[in-house]
């Protein structure tokens, strides 16, 4: 998703090996196509990034003059530049709060450090009475003291030290865990009250529900299913055509540390990112893109996401394995189950999944997890270029031919207020080709006269109804208008 940076675009990662390998006599057409995609990624790096210029921000400032931060009242170019740099730092600082939220998720749902049963939020009081919560805290404290090669515990060990907490001190560590658990509980109450008061007309109108919350890296398969269904709808309507998509960007794909929902919160496999590969897979499956001819940029401000993808690309001869567990007891509709079974078949091959721990295996008539795994092809991994970019305030300065056909950002804009969402829409529009699309499950305020000319062209309502459970998720398509003289 989102990275603490030096202010410079990342350099190509080790493992690129230049392009010499693609000049070998007898090279296959597939590798030549992969070389072209890598070259396209280099052009994006060379483009460089910039803060949203004042000339593009001014129409937004004029429209929202009554709702601007104090520092932007009567703003000029100098005030705007100073505010943008300060706001960028403020947004990036929210990542640490999101990491602490993930620590709480791990406490409740993690299985890599304890044999205790997982705790649902609604069962927290009972877990406290029975001692399960205390046992989980004790086990996590022990794991943080000696994390071994558990990458999640290693990360949290460093996070605690950065907060002045010695993981070797059980009392201080346990107190820190309880304190953050209580904070998360209070935040959930506040968010629930805020959502009830807002009474949005649709789920697309979630507004700025998480605008004062830590920016977390939660991820799951559900947004990827929603995007594939939306792409299918767009093709059916003729908005997207066969083979049309070649340049794509994913905004904040997330990193599967452990999700905040028990049904999709797992830590028995290595951390992974899913959306870039799922999107590539969907585009090829639907015929909207040609296999081995997609250039996919990953925009994020999280150094963890950037580093994760850079390491994956450095291992470009091994591919990238994604684990896809599914809780059989969860009422998924047939379309979602079908998507889960096919995910990755256009960009990789099935491999043996990691065996879940005993807590997930069927006991006493239980259903447990169904699992599968896919090894993503090396050329697909190499086609996914991570770049540090804050979509709220930054953009790539792209030549017209290098702009994107499609951008995707799910569960991202809800972390920002209406003013910031408008800035993000302007930046996205500046990087899209005329007619290009931004797909998101949040409504973004449009600005008449905005330079990017982005408009909500329509929505796709993705339904999850099954076994008496009714749920749906609208996905909006924001399109850059084609200006004709």
Q: What is the pLDDT of residue 83?
A: 97
Indicate the helix (H) or strand (E) that contains 251. strand 247-251
pLDDT tens string, the chain, 485 residues long: the values are: 444 333 333 333 333 233 333 333 333 444 444 444 444 444 455 568 899 999 999 999 998 888 899 999 999 999 999 999 999 999 999 999 999 999 999 999 999 999 999 998 888 999 999 999 999 999 999 999 999 999 999 999 999 999 999 999 999 999 999 999 999 998 888 877 766 666 655 555 555 566 667 778 888 899 999 999 999 999 999 999 999 999 999 999 999 999 888 888 899 999 999 999 999 999 999 999 998 899 999 999 999 999 999 999 998 788 999 999 998 888 788 999 999 999 999 999 999 999 999 888 765 444 689 999 999 999 999 999 999 999 999 999 999 999 999 999 999 998 898 899 999 999 999 999 999 999 999 888 887 766 678 999 999 999 876 555 557 789 999 999 876 54
* Under 8 Å between Cβ of 9 and 49: yes
Q: Give the pLDDT confidence of 444-453 residue by residue, as tens digits.
A: 888 776 667 8
Q: What is the pLDDT of residue 175?
A: 97
Residue given tokens 């290098």 in the structure block = 402
Q: What is the pLDDT of residue 317?
A: 83
Q: What is the pLDDT of residue 44?
A: 54
What tokens appear for 146 in the block? 């000696």
3-state secondary structure of 287: coil
| Domains of the chain (ranges, CATH numbers) | 77-205 (no CATH), 222-480 (3.40.50.150)
Question: How far is 133 from 138, CA to CA, in rounded Å?
Answer: 9
* Under 8 Å between Cβ of 359 and 118: yes
What's the DSSP call for residue 196?
H
Q: What is the pLDDT of residue 449?
A: 66
What tokens appear for 27 in the block? 């090279």
3-state secondary structure of 478: strand
Q: What is the pLDDT of residue 187?
A: 87
463 phi/psi in degrees, rounded to 5? -105, 145
Q: What is the 3-state secondary structure (H, E, C) of 394-459?
A: EEECCCHHHCEEEEEECCCHHHCCHHHHHHHHHHHHHCEEEEEEEEECCCCCCCCCCCCCEEEEEE
Q: What is the pLDDT of residue 349?
A: 97
State pTM to two decimals.
0.86
Half-sphere exposure of 411 (CA within 13 A, CB side): 19
CA 258 centroid distance within chain = 13
Q: What is the pLDDT of residue 16?
A: 29
Q: What is the pLDDT of residue 32?
A: 45
* Under 8 Å between Cβ of 42 and 382: no
Q: What is the pLDDT of residue 213?
A: 72
Question: How far is 251 from 298, CA to CA, in rounded Å?
Answer: 6
Residues 6+ positions from 380 with CB-CB distance below 8 Å? 277, 280, 347, 348
């Amino acid at each position: 998703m989102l990275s603490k940076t030096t202010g410079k675009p990342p350099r190509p990662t080790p493992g690129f090996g230049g392009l010499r390998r693609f000049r070998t006599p007898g090279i296959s057409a597939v590798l030549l196509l992969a070389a072209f995609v890598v070259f396209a990624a280099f052009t994006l790096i060379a483009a460089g990034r910039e803060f949203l210029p004042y000339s593009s921000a001014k129409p937004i400032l004029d429209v929202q003059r009554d709702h601007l931060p104090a520092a932007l009242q009567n703003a000029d170019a100098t005030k705007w530049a100073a505010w943008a740099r300060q706001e960028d730092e403020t947004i990036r600082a929210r990542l640490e709060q999101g990491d602490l939220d993930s620590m709480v998720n791990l406490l409740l749902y993690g299985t890599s450090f304890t044999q205790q049963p997982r705790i649902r939020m609604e069962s927290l009081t009972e877990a406290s009475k029975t001692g399960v919560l205390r046992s989980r805290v004790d086990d996590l404290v022990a794991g943080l003291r000696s994390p071994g090669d558990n990458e999640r515990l290693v990360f949290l060990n460093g996070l605690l030290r950065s907060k002045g907490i010695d993981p070797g001190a059980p009392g201080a560590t346990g107190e820190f865990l309880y304190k953050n658990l209580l904070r998360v509980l209070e935040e959930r109450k506040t968010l629930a009250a805020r959502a009830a008061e807002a009474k949005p007309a649709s789920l697309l109108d979630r507004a700025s529900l998480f605008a004062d919350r830590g920016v977390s890296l939660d991820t799951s398969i559900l947004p990827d299913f929603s995007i594939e269904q939306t792409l299918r709808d767009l093709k059916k309507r003729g908005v997207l055509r066969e083979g049309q998509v070649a340049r794509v960007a994913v905004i904040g794909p997330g990193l599967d540390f452990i999700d905040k929902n028990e049904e999709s919160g797992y830590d028995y496999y290595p951390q992974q990112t899913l959306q870039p590969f799922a999107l590539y897979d969907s585009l090829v499956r639907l015929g909207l893109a040609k296999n081995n001819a997609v250039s996919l940029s990953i925009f994020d401000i999280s150094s963890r996401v950037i580093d994760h993808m850079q390491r994956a690309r450095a291992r470009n001869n091994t591919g990238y394995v994604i684990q896809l567990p599914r809780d059989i007891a969860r009422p998924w509709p047939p379309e979602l189950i079908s998507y889960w079974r096919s995910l990755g078949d256009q960009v990789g091959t099935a491999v043996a999944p990691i065996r879940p721990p005993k807590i997930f295996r069927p006991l006493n008539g239980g259903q447990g997890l169904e699992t599968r795994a896919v090894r993503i092809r090396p050329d697909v991994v190499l086609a996914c270029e991570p770049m540090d970019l804050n979509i709220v305030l930054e953009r790539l300065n792209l030549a017209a031919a290098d702009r994107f056909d499609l951008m995707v950002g799910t569960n991202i804009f809800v972390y920002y207020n209406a003013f910031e969402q408008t800035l993000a829409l302007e930046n996205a529009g500046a990087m899209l080709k005329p007619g290009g699309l931004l797909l998101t499950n949040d409504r973004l305020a449009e600005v008449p006269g905005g330079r990017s000319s982005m408009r909500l062209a329509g929505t796709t309502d993705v339904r999850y109804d099954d076994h008496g459970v009714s749920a749906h998720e609208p996905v909006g398509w924001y399109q850059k208008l084609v200006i004709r003289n």
